[in-house]
Structure 1
């Protein structure tokens, strides 16, 4: 079997394996596993190859605690499980490629956020391949993250990722729309056709 064939056969399994994990073992995460996750993120596509991201890894209890606190705000105390994760990763939008930003502005698109989404998915897929669980957190206080990491003025926290070994070994059955609900094929006239 060629490399492409082996990748083609394992990719669906990997995408099924990746899920949002909200319960972690306290085992430390090897740096080389995290490095491979960051390498996968580095290889993600981005508009004009702008790569408008920085991944900041916090395993230190003090900094990690500040990120967990930023993610645990509000009356409902969002994301309490993040405190169990041995590692928190902050994904930062960095000042990017000007033509990409101007193009996005003219088209009403935010290309850096799309790019960051792809990089984060690459990170999380590699984490799943490493036997790690992740949860992508969008609910947090950006100002607290910015202060905790001492970020420069135009660097903006966009996502947090909790990372650790899943406490439960079984992968949950994913609840997703059926393929026919989220896709369609069209003919040359733009009319949907049966598949």
Structure 2
């Protein structure tokens, strides 16, 4: 375990993976970190589908890339795809969301994705969150009910890319105290 700031500094969106398989023990620890993610009213509105079958993984990858726009072709390289499906949340979270005009599962899935990607980094793996996807195609491939939303895909694997320096706005541009 490293300090959290070191972990946050190392975490990046990796788009180049090598052929090494991910050890089962590492995947299980990442999934446990995901399971422990907090959520509004403990609603836990998610299901994670681990796709590690090479043929199915490539079909899922095809549903995330665009020939016309020329992006996301790297998704076939990653040995594991975690398909994050939004599930129904509990009554308390639904009522709170209605009262406040918020859809709390969106926040919950963001927290889940952070837990997964940071746990992957801690395990020495690369990851990338992919939001551009053909939801209908993925639903069909994985037999996901039409009533469920495929929120995102998270790639996992050993990265072949080097660590990049983070380019971020200065803290004074993103943080203020007591007023906007």
Common topology (TM > 0.5): yes
Match for residue 167 of structure 1 among 160, 164, 169: 160
Q: TM-score, normalised by structure 1?
A: 0.87
Partner of 2:172: 180
CA displacement at 1:101 relative to structure 2: 2.0
The one of 61, 64, 68 aligned to 2:61 = 68
CA distance in 1, matches of 2:67, 2:153: 17
**Which one has a bigger Cα radius of gyration?**
1
Is 1:79 the counterpart of 2:72 in the alignment?
yes
Matched, 1:110 2:110: no
CA contact (8 A) 1:24 1:166 kept: yes
Alignment partner, residue 24 of structure 2? 31
Moved >4 Å (runs of 4+): none
For the 8 Å contact 1:95–1:154, the answer to whether it is kept is no
Count residues with an aligned counterpart: 180
Q: Provide Cα deviations, 1:154-184, integer angstroms capped at 9, x if missing partner.
A: 221101011110113x311111111111111
CA RMSD of aligned residues (A): 1.5
Among 139, 143, 152, which residue is 2:136 paired with? 143
For residue 74 of structure 1, report the CA deviation from its aligned partner. 5.3
